[in-house]
Amino acid sequence: MFNYAGVGSSYRPEKVVGGFDTLDFNSHRILYAGPDPADKDKVLIRKIVQVSDSTYCYEESRISASENTHEPTVHTQLIRLKGFNLKEHVDDYELNLRGKYKPIPNLLGFSLYYRDPKEAVPHVSVIENTLNKIKADSWIEFFQDLRDKRDMSQYLKGRWFGF
């Protein structure tokens, strides 16, 4: 429903490192930026990002050099963190209690893949990766998941095409 594939714009570092727009400094925190431990030829960037007023996600981007062009290949994964607030300060005891008694949410994720083939136009695709629970959801959870999917998809497309 929220998947996208089309012609992409050129790569720029702010599309991966920064926030939603050029002056956004409050909606994300970079956890790690450096060489990828799994593959030294790639760069890994891990962040926590805010995609809406109440939804936070874990973002992991891998950037690798392309053999054919000067543009790199980018693969970004965005996974929802249910019940997380970046600006809320709680102690370890409270976090343990919340983790122990909170319900297990559906796993929502999206992937953005960008490549610039030498013989064609740049390509961007946004693909949904969702794992639903076996038991039936409540209507409240269903509509919240639907809103979160919409926000996550729009965040990835907006980040890439907004610059």
What was the pLDDT predicted at 22? 66
What was the pLDDT predicted at 43? 92
| pLDDT over 60 at 152, yes or no | yes
Q: What SS3 class is residue 72? A: coil
Q: Which two tokens stand for residue 92?
A: 């370890």
Q: Which domain holds residue 121?
A: 4-161
Q: Model confidence over 94-140: pLDDT tens digits?
A: 878 877 777 777 888 999 888 877 767 788 889 998 888 777 678 88
What was the pLDDT predicted at 116? 78
What was the pLDDT predicted at 67? 78
Q: Model confidence over 27-81: pLDDT tens digits?
A: 888 899 999 998 889 999 999 988 888 888 999 999 998 777 788 888 999 999 8
Taking the alpha carbons at both ends of the chain, their separation in whole angstroms is 24
What was the pLDDT predicted at 130? 86
What was the pLDDT predicted at 88? 82
Average pLDDT over residues 151-163: 82
> Please, what's the b/e burial string for 62-76 (b: 16 or more CB within 10 A of its CB; e: otherwise)?
bbeeeeeeebbbbeb
Domain tally, the chain? 1
| pLDDT over 80 at 91, yes or no | yes
What was the pLDDT predicted at 89? 83
